[in-house]
Amino acid sequence: MRPGGRAIVLFLRQVFDCSGVDQRVVDDWIRCVDAAEDSCVAIEPGSGSGDPVPPLVDRSAPEWYQLVQASLRTGGYAIRTEKAYLDWLKRFADFHSGTDPRQCGGGEVRSFLEHLAIDRNVAAGTQNQAFAALLYALQKVYEIPLGDLADTARARGDERLPVVLTREEVARVLGRMSGKYSLMARLQYGSGLRGLEGCRLRVKDIDFGYEQIVLTDTKGNKDRLTYLPVSVRSELRDQIAAVRRLHDADLSQGNGRVWLPFALSEKYRDLDQSFEWQYVFPAARLSVDPRSGIVRRHHIGESSVARAIKKAMRSAGVDKHASAHSLRHSFATHMLEAGADIRTVQELLGHKDVSTTMIYTHVLNRPGIVGASPLDGMGSVERDRRDGQAGEFQE
């Protein structure tokens, strides 16, 4: 299909609900558009523009599944959100013996959520995600009123404290890493990045002039600024230079495209091939976008970075139940220990509410454990007890 035909079919699929349109009608559209473009310039080989447009939805799935998938894609939802919502919708249908979700209501939603909370004992966040998925599908897509679900049994909220490493432990962990994973781990700790934020860094986000990192593709889609540590700047420049060489090689082979948010690739022609939008930590291989079918170079996988950090923690002898995200927790805690204002830390972390940031005060004796254990205040009594035990062992 020619570029114009591809654009028109995409428009028809995304703007209008074509789920009930016979495929032969769509084929007729394509043939008519192609016939009208006989005088157009031929597509350059290797440009990827002539690739067939993938379907907006999975035609092998049930109709109720296709409707939600089409709504998510036309709404511009992230691929992770799409997968999570559709997975919960399938679980919901399976729980009700394969019943079409369009035939369900508030009672069925309540019983499923209570099953998760009581029988499966899932975390509160898991239950909330399931509820958000069902709310989107049933209310927004199927337009089914769910009524009052306030009396639904809820999973208990998490009240766990974050696992924080000491400065010495962080130094040991970072000292056992090398290469790009070392650089990414140091950015997570030195800039307070989430794991996915580090993976999604683009060349344009690194501001060497103002010595800061501009985060745009973040949780909640809110821009924020954070530190660009002095100790990583030279290595980061080398990494960006390597990205430029890789990008030039991709362009020479007719590739070099990258995913852009907010449909920017449709608004600005060839912006997805510009260097400033390339990922700072690109994947080793090209991949096919599961929704557009376009060949692109994505960013490095978050799980591979997390595994490298976890391996370094084991090698460093860190016996805490820590993960890669503990580096971000440690950044916040160590900032507060150094006397930083909690509002400053809140902005650096990108927390919506300062109460979220307050949890990092648990190791600072404010407002956590104040004073000392009464056992340590017994002084001579405790020493006499130990001396007496030592005498018994000697006898």
Q: Which residues are catalytic?
A: 194, 219, 325, 328, 351, 360
Closest CA to 92 of 69, 72, 109, 70: 109
Please, what is the end-to-end C-alpha distance for the chain in angstroms?
95
Kindly give the pairing relationship between strand 212-215 and strand 224-227.
antiparallel
* Tokens of residue 70, six digits: 């089409």
Whole-angstrom Cα distance, residue 177 to residue 215?
A: 25
| CA 240 to mean position of chain CA atoms | 22
The kind and range of the H/E element at 95 are helix 79-95
Whether the Cβ atoms of residue 295 and residue 287 lie closer than 8 Å to each other: yes
Residues 6+ apart with CB under 8 A from 169: 316, 318, 320
Whole-angstrom Cα distance, residue 37 to residue 3?
A: 10
